[in-house]
């Protein structure tokens, strides 16, 4: 016979085994946190596991940390614990246990451990430095840039097992390692920061290549290499003095997300009697005459049938999203955030989210996607000078206005009162509405719009003009991958503007990462970008200087970038004819100078009387005082 004592120990052993199995299936979000985040910090732990709500949980005493609140939701598979973490808390392991049903058992059974880590001492120094107008951002769709590790092309167990480079809506195999392998190329080009399309896992049945349908916020996409490869890429960037921008998606998730598949309760997402799509009409949010239902459909309608719309007015949802943004910033050393579909979020939530990030990391830069039409619309979503009820605290936006109503018409329309270069000039005159237009990100193209080379009719000269504008105008310039090698195509369908970078895969017929793999025209444009981008690094007039522009005349647009120490002259002539510019008109900026050194070819030009600018050229020259010699140095 088995004694009662032996039976008791056997039963305890069985219970321990069961508890270990339960612990393995229990997920805790966030996975860890850090000591010393703020003077007084609260962290919401979301526990997800089979019937976890029934557990009576105890936190083993830990100096500086208190379990101040336990919340339940309708679904018994969730439990939320709120911890208060004081400035006294030190790095270590916080243990959580649950009571055993056996009163003779002397202690609870371990449920999970939660780690408090030490913060990185390089924050604000070599990492989390922020993004500013001194940077050149290079936007990469990771699946389409380079395949550095073929072993992660397909991941067993994930729903999307496609791998077909002939289909631009399927996965192609690009990854973090592929990007890391080409950091020399990017740095030589003059790039200082990378913005990657979303890096979180998208465990969806199809269309997972773009990354905008998260299914688990705390898992980095394994087909890109996972968290270890992401860390390695970012560490490599930071060692080079380069930066990383992560793509945030607060508005929606993928329909395969565990929080939608195993819903905590109905208040976590927006619901309608029948499926209701957003109207995509951002205008209703600033329209003084808008109806309530139009505002609701815009903000609470789903982005697509595959993307459930978060209810950000639910405080648990808001805390989950904000904590994740802070967690990623600290964990990976994020220097900036690009915020997807900014206008579709609850704007009050966005202000709270932005504030939480900037309170913790004042140097961080945040800019929102504002794919809208009109300067009032765009400026409504960022810091502005309007006296209106809603005041955004977002530092900057993606400047679609300077794209759609600026550089594109400047290089595709004939000159007119409000057309051609006049449209670019007029758009820039409205910068007075922004609190700081230098924080806006300007661009020629991105993953959602047609390639600029196609927009300008595959005209190499106009492509170079667009690039020159991008690198000399106000704001933070962003270059889309492949623009420097004349990648083309229109956005209908959008997959055509997301093709592979040639040479990023073994066996590619041409390797555009190397001069020998590029055509003469491609090398010409690549070298043009490299020359201007690297000059820009050492030109404070272009990175932090003021902008002065002149009313366009005779199809020509002239503007200056300048500081007290440096002045750069930019003359845009989009016509096919050479133009002789009377420089006396610009004496306000040129009177202390006699020459200008062409940044591209290094030649000196006399700017006291007239300057000849070839057709289809944006002439860029640094003004030289006195009597400079042929090298651009001022002679004694």
Active-site amino acid positions: 340, 369
Distance CA 229, CA 227 (A): 6
Distance CA 56, CA 52 (A): 9
Contacts 24+ apart (CB under 8 A), 493-496: 493/168, 493/169, 494/447, 494/448, 495/168, 495/169, 496/168
**Range list of H helices, 95-225:** 176-180, 183-189
Positive or negative CA dihedral for 533, 538, 543, 546? negative
Buried b (16+ CB within 10 A) or exposed e, 474-498: bbbbbbbbbbbbbbbbebeebbebb
Distance CA 335, CA 360 (A): 13
Distance CA 124, CA 295 (A): 39
407: which 2 tokens? 């550089």
Positive or negative CA dihedral for 442, 448, 453, 454? negative
The candidate with the shortest Cα–Cα distance to 209, out of 508, 449, 499, is 499
Phi-psi region of 207 (alpha: psi -120 to 50; beta: other; left: phi over 0): left
Instruction: Give, as one character, the DSSP assignment of residue 121.
Output: T
140: which 2 tokens? 């990469």
The candidate with the shortest Cα–Cα distance to 141, out of 196, 187, 192, is 196
Question: By the 8 A CB rule, do 622 and 472 touch?
Answer: no
Residue owning tokens 């991941």: 155
Give the chain's length. 636
The candidate with the shortest Cα–Cα distance to 47, out of 31, 36, 69, 35, is 31
3-class DSSP state of 362: coil
The candidate with the shortest Cα–Cα distance to 433, out of 508, 380, 480, is 380
For the chain, the farthest-separated pair of C-alpha atoms sits apart, in whole angstroms, at: 113
**Does residue 30 have a cis bond before it (omega within 30 degrees)?**
yes
Beginning with the edge strand found earlier in the chain, give each strand of the sheet holding 65-72 in spatial order.
27-29, 40-48, 78-86, 65-72
Q: Number of helices (H) and strands (E), helices first, in the chain? A: 17, 26
**Range list of H helices, 279-346:** 292-300, 315-328
The candidate with the shortest Cα–Cα distance to 225, out of 202, 263, 199, 249, is 199
């Amino acid at each position: 016979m088995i004694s009662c004592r032996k039976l008791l120990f056997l039963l305890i052993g069985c219970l321990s085994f069961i508890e270990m199995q339960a612990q393995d299936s229990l997920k805790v979000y966030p996975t860890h946190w850090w000591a010393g985040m703020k003077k007084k910090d609260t962290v919401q732990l979301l526990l997800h596991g089979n019937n976890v709500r029934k557990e009576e949980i105890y936190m083993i005493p830990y100096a500086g940390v208190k379990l101040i609140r336990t919340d339940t939701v309708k679904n018994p598979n969730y439990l939320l614990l709120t911890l208060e973490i004081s400035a006294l808390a030190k790095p270590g392991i916080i243990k959580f246990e649950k009571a055993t049903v056996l009163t003779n058992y002397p202690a609870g059974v371990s449920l999970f451990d939660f780690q408090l880590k030490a913060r990185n001492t390089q924050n604000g120094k070599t990492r989390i430095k922020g993004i500013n107008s001194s940077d050149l951002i290079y936007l990469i769709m990771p699946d389409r840039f380079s395949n550095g590790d073929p072993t992660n092309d397909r991941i067993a167990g994930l729903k999307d097992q496609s791998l077909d480079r002939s289909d631009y809506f399927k996965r192609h195999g690009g990854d973090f390692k592929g990007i890391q392998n080409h950091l020399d190329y990017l740095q030589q080009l003059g790039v200082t920061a990378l913005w990657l399309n979303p890096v979180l896992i998208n465990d969806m049945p199809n269309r997972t290549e773009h990354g905008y349908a998260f299914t688990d916020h705390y898992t980095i996409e394994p087909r890109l290499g996972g968290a270890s490869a992401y860390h390695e890429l970012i560490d490599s960037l930071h060692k080079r003095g380069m930066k990383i921008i992560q793509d945030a998606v607060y508005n929606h998730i993928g329909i395969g997300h565990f929080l939608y598949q195993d819903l905590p309760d109905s208040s976590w997402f927006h619901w309608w009697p029948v499926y209701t799509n957003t109207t995509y009409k951002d205008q209703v949010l600033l329209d003084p005459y808008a109806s309530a239902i139009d505002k609701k459909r815009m903000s609470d309608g789903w982005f697509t049938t595959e993307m459930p719309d978060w209810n950000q007015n639910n405080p648990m949802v808001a805390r989950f999203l904000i904590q994740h943004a802070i967690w990623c910033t600290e964990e990976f050393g994020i220097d900036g955030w690009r915020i997807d579909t900014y206008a579709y979020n609850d704007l009050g939530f966005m202000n709270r989210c932005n504030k939480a990030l900037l309170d913790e990391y004042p140097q961080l830069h945040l800019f929102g996607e504002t794919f809208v039409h009109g300067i009032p619309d765009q400026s409504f979503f960022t810091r502005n000078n309007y006296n209106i009820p809603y005041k955004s605290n977002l530092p900057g936006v993606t400047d679609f206005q300077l794209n759609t109503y600026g550089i594109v018409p400047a290089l595709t329309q004939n000159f007119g009162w409000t057309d051609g270069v006049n449209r670019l000039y007029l758009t820039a005159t409205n910068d007075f509405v922004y609190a700081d237009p230098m924080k806006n990100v300007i661009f020629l193209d991105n993953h959602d719009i047609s390639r600029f080379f196609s927009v300008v009719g595959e005209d190499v000269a106009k492509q170079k003009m667009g690039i020159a504008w991008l690198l000399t105008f106000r704001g933070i310039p962003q270059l889309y991958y492949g623009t420097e090698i004349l990648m083309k195509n229109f956005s209908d369908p959008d997959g055509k503007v997301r093709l592979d970078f040639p040479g990023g895969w073994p066996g590619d017929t041409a390797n555009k990462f190397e001069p020998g793999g590029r055509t003469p025209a491609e090398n010409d444009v690549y070298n043009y970008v490299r020359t201007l981008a690297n000059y820009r690094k050492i030109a404070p007039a272009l990175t932090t200087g003021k902008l002065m522009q002149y009313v366009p005349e005779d199809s020509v647009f002239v503007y200056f970038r300048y500081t007290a120490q440096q002045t750069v002259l930019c003359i845009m002539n989009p016509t096919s004819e050479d133009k002789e510019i009377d420089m006396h008109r610009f004496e306000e900026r040129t009177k202390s100078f006699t020459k200008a050194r062409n940044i591209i070819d290094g030649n000196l030009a006399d700017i006291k009387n007239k300057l000849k600018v070839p057709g289809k050229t944006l002439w860029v020259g640094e003004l030289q005082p006195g009597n400079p010699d042929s090298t651009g140095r001022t002679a004694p």
